[in-house]
Chain A
Amino acid sequence: MQISVKVNGTERTADVEPRLLLVHLVRDTFGLTGTHEGCDTTSCGACTVLLDGTPVKSCTLFGVQADGREVTTVEGLAAGGELDPVQVAFKEEHGLQCGFCTPGMMLVGKALLERNADPSDDDVRWAISGNICRCTGYVNIVNAIRHAARIKAGATEPATV
């Protein structure tokens, strides 16, 4: 099937099998390997991308379901060349260790901040409840997303990273 998807601001076309998963369209067809596959079953959130701004698990969507829509991956967070506040915050607050869940966590964090500029710990924990991290214990991830909110609001100067 011929599909057309706007990926990180760029229009991309592909001829794909109807059964091709969105995660494989992103990783293999478009070569954006920042999106990871952890469980194939919508459980871990490592494959999270934004579909028209909403976080989705790309391992349980077909690529053809993204036809005519907009996909944002971790590579699109710094599309303008400048790091997104959520990327800066994850580094400053040590919100990652092995880095495998990090793209999904950051995209969920970015989507949360779009609709809630000042989330509480509970708000953040609810937002990332579909994403599993085995390294950090989540505390620093929550801190990072709240720190990103402060950077975005201009309440704190991001350190140079």
Chain B
Amino acid sequence: MPTETEEIRGLGHRVKRKEDDRFIRGKGTYIDDIKLPGMLHMAILRSPYAHATITGIDTSKAQALPGVVAVVTGELMAQHNLAWMPTLSGDTQAVLVTDKVRFQGQEVAAVIAEDLYTAKDALELIGVEYEPIEPIVTPQRAMEPNAPVIRTDKEGQDSNHIYHWESGDKDATDKAFAEADRVVALDTFYPRSHPAPVETCGCVADINPATGQATIYMTSQAPHAIRTVFALVAGLPEEKIRIVSPDIGGGFGNKVPVYPGYVVATAASLLIGRPVKWIEDRTENLISTGFARDFHMHGEMALKDDGTRSWPTKGRSMPTHSPRSSRWGCSTSSPAPTTCRLLTSPRTARTRTRRRAAWPIAARSGSLRPPT
């Protein structure tokens, strides 16, 4: 007689996964396994500088290479109003550089060719003239008054300060600190990490020139959100856009944002009238897609020597201050700010959390979220 638990076959029981049968036979369909008739291949030229003005791009030699179908620059994208795009957090992000490079590895140009080897050969034939500007790699330097401003594209932006955010009861917290016998403080750094899924990001963009239907196969964890961004970028109704997420070789948040390569591949497919595949390599994945953390944090606690509380007994949390600075990338692509709970519990009345973030340019931010 089986027990009730065995009959339910719920928690604590092993489940045979349906997808394993294809994975153990090598029959999964990951993004790079998709091959469409007439499909072209795209490779991206990236900036070796973290901060630089671009004064000229010569694509003539690349365009003359047999097998190259098109070379796309920011100038061409701007002609179609696609040089910049919105992000999921309401920021904007460059698709291909038109004015200046804002982080090392930023997308400068793209080659679309009959095969990947030709596309990568052509990248080496593109001549770009850079005028380097001082790079900023720490939030401390970013906030200094004489630091060069990264987001000069934003009207009225005269510093690298992104936002200031507070939560909690200021008066109650100040009172607790004023009455404290001692204040304990901690400075700590929560280092940057990269999700680094073993499958890098990529897509196959297929725009049907007859129907205007856009089908984009993509290593995406968020196909519906991506469809919304694509509709905004392309000015198309959502029903004209289909985002297909096949088997995904790991994501860990790295495959939520829209990356410039997706937009360029889609625009290229639209302009050329053939499907375009773009698969980033590992270096591109690490230097140009969403990372996490990188928080410089300072926390303070107000304490009484005899162990009694200096704040009303109804409160559940200790009075704390926790100003933090983050080394944000040059665009934010995921919602921020959200609550910080590492050193504080900001939803209670006697705790205050302050955060500020700055724009250094070592890399672009992706799924940047405070720890929860």
Contact = CB atoms under 8 A, between A and B. Distances in A.
Interface stretch (B24-32, B149-157, B171-179): B24-32
B117 interface: yes
Contacts of A78: 25
A19 B30 contact: no
A90 B62 CA distance: 47
Of A96, A102, A134, A161, the most chain B CB neighbours within 10 A belong to A134
A21 to B, nearest CB: 9
Contact of B21 (A98, A134, A161): A161
Contacts of A134: 195-198, 250, 252
B282 A90 contact: no
B98 interface: no
Contact of B23 (A20, A40, A99): A99
Chain A interface, >50% SS class: loop
Nearest to B27: A34
B144 interface: no
A112 interface: no
Contacts of A43: 282
Nearest to A84: B24
Nearest to A133: B198
B26 A34 contact: yes
Contacts of A102: 23-24
A32 interface: yes
Chain B interface, >50% SS class: loop
Contacts of A77: 25-26
Contacts of B32: 27, 33, 36-37
Contacts of A101: 198
Nearest to B34: A33
B336 to A, nearest CB: 24
B133 to A, nearest CB: 31
A134 B200 CA distance: 12
Contact of B16 (A73, A133, A161): A161
A121 interface: no
Contacts of A58: none
A5 interface: no
A40 B281 contact: yes
A106 interface: yes
B282 A98 contact: no
Given A41-B282, A96-B24, A36 B249 contact: yes
Interface string A95-117: 01011111100100000000000
Contacts of B247: 98-99
A148 B27 CA distance: 21
Given A19-B117, A99-B28, A99-B249, A36 B23 contact: no
B207 interface: no
Contact of A83 (B19, B24, B248): B24
A87 B27 CA distance: 13
B111 to A, nearest CB: 18
B202 to A, nearest CB: 10
Contact of B24 (A41, A87, A100): A87
B158 interface: no
Given A37-B32, A44-B198, A100 B281 contact: no
A123 interface: no
Contacts of B197: 98, 100, 134
A25 interface: no
Contacts of A100: 28, 30, 197-199, 249-250
Given A36-B199, A40-B281, A134-B196, A75 B25 contact: yes
B196 A99 contact: no
A39 interface: yes
Contacts of B28: 34, 99-100
A98 B20 CA distance: 9
B249 A91 contact: no
Nearest to B282: A39
Contact of A17 (B21, B33, B117, B200): B117
A96 B249 CA distance: 11
Given A73-B26, A135-B250, 19 more contacts: A33-B26, A34-B28, A36-B30, A36-B32, A38-B200, A40-B282, A43-B282, A44-B198, A74-B26, A90-B20, A91-B20, A98-B197, A99-B23, A99-B24, A100-B198, A100-B249, A103-B26, A106-B24, A161-B16
29 contacts: A19-B117, A33-B26, A34-B27, A36-B30, A36-B32, A36-B199, A41-B282, A77-B26, A83-B25, A90-B20, A91-B20, A96-B23, A98-B247, A99-B19, A99-B24, A99-B247, A100-B30, A100-B199, A100-B249, A100-B250, A101-B198, A102-B23, A132-B198, A133-B198, A134-B196, A134-B197, A134-B198, A134-B252, A161-B16
State the 6 A-B residue pairs at the shortest beta-carbon distance, nearest first.
Answer: A34-B26, A100-B249, A99-B23, A74-B26, A39-B282, A33-B33
